Structure 1
């Protein structure tokens, strides 16, 4: 048990570091292609999200074939996948895109290379602060509703198969259309796409509030929730990358992911008590507060901040 906990801690650390890869895709991007480049990395997650759960049974057969304990085959497959990822990074990212971008910026010498810490950037750069807040609260919204949906559906008599389909539809909404939202971010600007994402989150809450007992409506709500998360996260991450200069981006991007995941933890911890107190409909209404707040914040941020190449 202690070794399992340690392994999951290390796995989570690796996932957090890997999450930064979507920002690495923008190191050599311009403002015209930044959203598209970032969103393609997010979209690639769709393959793993769809394929991964279906490898459980093959993993068990593999574990049995080589005399491993039950439920360990998935870990073996994950290890192999990570080793492939290491090889891709080791062989493919030479030279590192960030180093190329840094050399180009130094050669142009067109911007002051500030080196503030992530929290200092958030305190002093309003555009970065609004973007990080949007990404964090969007993640809280998504985790809160998504994590309680299986419990609600089970209480309504839904089968595990139907619950699984609903979550699969939700995951598809989160990732499958990421390139579309990236393209729209480049064409229309991140704030327009963020407003679209918040409208989709509001739609999810309205659907739940209108008929939470209907499984089809719940599935549509989870699809809208996933699409709203995708739009707001892709556009928000694009804003984060463009709100500061090249030298400060990695620190701000790491701070953004910290805030996003802490918000997700808070959403997961509080959604259960809220569900117990006011039900699934009540949870959806409570979450509307966050959407309204994010819309107000981004309306205020229209004239804030500087966009960097």
Structure 2
């Protein structure tokens, strides 16, 4: 790191991710259960889907704001919207009103979009050779909050009951406090526009998110990066979101459910520096292969697990590890898009698709769980890996031959 401004900005990203992780994870462990308490198991995935769709809705506007005014106002706004969402969720639970609860869950998703965009802010502070490492360090910080969050479920339940609310609404009080603190950390510590980021801005006018996706569709490596991130998130959300419901139906309490989700989130973030270093040293394509294979192993183990708590725990840890390797490698590939005119809009568009894919997966997961069980759900989710792997094979071949499609001055992805 160079200069106090860069160091202070990096501290801000670390602190906001710790706090944001607490906020997201406090709610994610009980969100599906809260929806079920007001409806039925068939609607369990809808609550998670709304949060993920909310993240998608916020991803492009936040990226646009970051391109125009810098990461600081974009990240602060994201945490502010998530704070409002947590308050509305508590209100919906207090009223026993499902539509109000759904509105709160939609806004709550802004926290996930904001936490994810901090990795791109970290890449703007880092040099080209260390993007994976810096991104992964910021993501790793989420481990602290994300592991602590679900383990607050029992205490949150007691808090909710103590103030006369449903127990499942209690954990969202922790989310309120965490998002407020995360926004404060960003506003107080993050530089308005880090010097490293300013040097990466080109004179070209930014393009729209849709145009950026169209550009990526013509470039095999960028296309694979987008597909990898979207598929990895969809597989992860589909299996993870229904695990609390499956365990709850098996008679396990909030303490056990919180522990399982904590271990899953530990897998998502704890080894991210390892995957970041691997992406920097061995290349993001090899790291992507590790991610896809690990996701496949997780889906297979979940399919075979049935009611074995130990097998489900191992499957959820592998699921987190596969997600981590895939998201970091895909993000490094996106950060290597040369032109800022394409890079930032494509990052926002990819995060939006990531959230929409995860939302669709969560919404479908509840129906699949009710229809074919937890094992069947894992099998369907694992099948999504196949097309992503095929695009990876095409992308890897394209990196070995000179590109003939790029015209002079056209943005491209570094190989």
Q: Which residue of 2 aligns with 1:12?
A: 109
Query: Is 1:191 aligned to residue 285 of structure 2?
Result: yes
> Of 390, 393, 415, which residue of structure 2 is paired with 1:299?
393
Q: Which residue of 2 aligns with 1:172?
A: 266
Contact 2:212 2:346 in 1 (8 A): yes
Q: Which residue of 2 aligns with 1:283?
A: 377
Q: Which residue of 2 aligns with 1:202?
A: 296
Q: State how far apart, in whole Å, the 2-side matches of 1:198 and 1:249 are.
A: 24
Shift of residue 166, structure 1, vs aligned partner: 2.0
Query: Is 1:274 aligned to residue 368 of structure 2?
Result: yes
Shift of residue 18, structure 1, vs aligned partner: 4.0
Shift of residue 285, structure 1, vs aligned partner: 2.2
Q: Which residue of 2 aligns with 1:122?
A: 213
Quote the RMSD (CA, aligned, Å).
Answer: 3.0
Q: Which residue of 1 aligns with 2:182?
A: 85
Q: State how far apart, in whole Å, the 2-side matches of 1:80 and 1:137 are.
A: 32
Q: Which residue of 1 aligns with 2:199?
A: 104
Q: Which residue of 2 aligns with 1:113?
A: 204
Q: Gaps (5+ residues) in structure 2?
A: 1-91, 93-98, 404-411
Bigger shift: residues 25-34 or 70-79: 70-79
Bigger shift: residues 199-208 or 149-158: 149-158
> Of 25, 44, 48, which residue of structure 1 is paired with 2:141?
44
Change in 2 beyond 3 A, CA 1:148/1:73:
closer
Report the TM-score when normalising by structure 2: 0.64
Q: Gaps (5+ residues) in structure 1?
A: none
Shift of residue 88, structure 1, vs aligned partner: 2.5
Number of matched pairs: 301
- SS at 1:25's partner residue? helix
Change in 2 beyond 3 A, CA 1:260/1:58:
same
Change in 2 beyond 3 A, CA 1:238/1:157:
same
Contact 2:151 2:258 in 1 (8 A): no
Q: State how far apart, in whole Å, the 1-side matches of 2:170 and 2:134 are.
A: 34
Q: State how far apart, in whole Å, the 2-side matches of 1:270 and 1:236 are.
A: 25
> Of 256, 261, 275, which residue of structure 1 is paired with 2:355?
261
Shift of residue 79, structure 1, vs aligned partner: 4.2
Bigger shift: residues 254-263 or 78-87: 78-87
